[in-house]
Amino acid sequence: MAELLNIILNIVRNALRMLSLGRPAIDNSLNINIKCSTGNTLSVGLDPEWDIGEVKNIIAPKLGANPKEVKIIFAGKELEDSIVIKDCDLGEQSTLHAVKLSKSFVKPSSGQLSSVIAEAISDEDEIAVLQETIDRAGSQFYVHCPVCNDLRLGKLRVRCSKCKSGAITVDTDPKSWSDVLKSNKISGHCEQDDCPDGAFAWAEFYFKCTEHISQGENDEAVPLYLLRNNFKNIPCLACTEIKHVVFVFPCKEAHVTCLDCFRTFAVLRLRERQFVLDDAIGYTIACPAGCPDSFIDECHHFKLLTNEQYELYQRFATEECVLHAGGVLCPQPGCGEGIIVDSSCDKVACSNGCGYVFCRKCLQGYHLGECNSLDNASLSDDIHHITDPARAAQARWDEATNVAIRVTTKPCPRCRTATERSGGCMHMICTRCSFHWCWVCQIEWSRDCMGTHWFG
């Protein structure tokens, strides 16, 4: 047995030597990983001018097969022998899948499958858009790449939803974004040896960044599918410019803004705390034209903002989550730790944060009896303790801040968020809890307020 193996190995080595002798040295070789259905991965340098037939000659011996029995799969497609590597959209460190043909494999009847897919496709416009993207730009997709931490062009890739192997051929191309983003839309045939789904597998699509060398199969990018190439030359609804790349809001009308206006719009809404916390989606915004059911449901789109703005987005989102769950935020300047509280107790301690102990109702230092922020704060001035001078200086600064907040703001009558009025009428709408209140009366806004002192 061992002898036989040696003979085979020798043949292979000779064959490889002959191949390499017969060719000039490769200057601009691509380093490609070839994953075999047996589980081995080979790293090979391929000349971009070679065709798939030549790749099969190299790989067949490794599979213990005749080159004719080998199938090369890439991005859900079987590559024909005549295809030249440079035309395959392969990047450095891309992975090809090599499979030994199994004779028992019978292709499922196509009639069945097309009927499944026909049901799955509903939005004709979506189909047109995706098809157009593929036709005109050669699969140009926009993604957020976590490695580059930026907006990049992405490549669509596919794997088996069961065994996660890339050795899958799809029965049909995805025709709409829903085919790509939702699971179990496109069927395929998984050629991984031990895959339980095999001939009846579902394709799972994912994206890779085109701009850095692949760092392996887990190096994925998030599709920003609301970003599209503006083939229809639709002007931005805000600035009316016609830009090459646009943001298409997920409303029925598919309203379009350019990326700059999207950023301006999102930042404005964020700073005014006008994002909405949706149970299913998260902290998000809707179409600027006010269309129903138009929340942006992939929050990575907010990665289009600067890092600083995105951090603000994350902070607000976390705060809204805490408040939504009935918690409070530590009022100590510079802290803001979210605390889930026991609603029967008014004494809250910021035990994971700064240690401040405060009243749940008025968010001032903890006190006994009724809340009366001004009086309680001044009480402590009479008591002298030995203090760390640095901390004392910090405390003075904090006190000045508190005074400034007290003088320039009024608390929302419902949630007590300190609110500053920078002009306009007396009708206040709380940016945190949306309560309508009167700046003068500090109670709920009424017809009476509107009639007698709307503008003061």
Partner 1 sequence: MSALPRRIIKETQRLMAEPVPGISAVPDESNARYFHVIVTGPEDSPFEGGLFKLELFLPEDYPMSAPKVRFITKIYHPNIDKLGRICLDILKDKWSPALQIRTVLLSIQALLSAPNPDDPLANDVAELWKINESEAIRNAKEWTRKYAMEN
For residues 134 and 128, what is the distance between their CA atoms, to the nearest angstrom? 10
* Torsions phi, psi for 31 (to 5 deg): -85, 115
Residue tagged 């020798």 (tokens):
10
For helices 259-271 and 307-324, the axis angle rounded to 10 degrees is 40
State which residue, 207 or 249, has the beta carbon closest to partner 1.
Answer: 249
* Type of residue at 9: L
Task: Give the span between the Cα atoms of 290 and 297, in whole angstroms.
Answer: 16
Q: For residue 74, what is the enclosing H or E element?
A: strand 70-74
- State which residue, 129 or 261, has the beta carbon closest to partner 1: 261
Distance CA 164, CA 176 (A): 22
The smaller minimum CB distance to partner 1, of residues 131 and 264, is found at 264
Looking at the Cβ atoms of 288 and 411, the one nearer to partner 1 is 288
Binding site for partner 1 (CB under 8 A): 237-241, 255, 257, 261, 264-265, 268, 288-290, 429, 447, 450-452, 454-455
- The tokens describing 66, both together, are 């005749």
The CB-of-42 to partner 1 minimum distance in angstroms stands at: 55
Asked if 317 and 282 count as a contact pair (C-beta separation under 8 A), the reply is yes
Nearest approach in angstroms of CB 295 to partner 1 is 16
Composition of the chain by helix, strand, coil, percent to 5: 30, 25, 45
Q: Read off the DSSP letter of residue 15.
A: H
Active site residues: 425
**Taking the complex as a whole, how short is the minimal distance between the CB of residue 30 and partner 1, in angstroms?**
45
247 membership: H or E segment, kind and range: strand 245-248
In terms of Cα–Cα distance, which of 268, 261, 157, 304 is closest to 218? Answer: 157
Looking at the Cβ atoms of 241 and 311, the one nearer to partner 1 is 241
Question: Shortest approach of partner 1 to residue 240 CB, angstroms?
Answer: 5
- The torsion angles phi and psi of 7, rounded to 5 degrees, stand at -60, -45
Question: To the nearest whole angstrom, how small is the minimum distance from the Cβ of residue 358 to partner 1?
Answer: 32
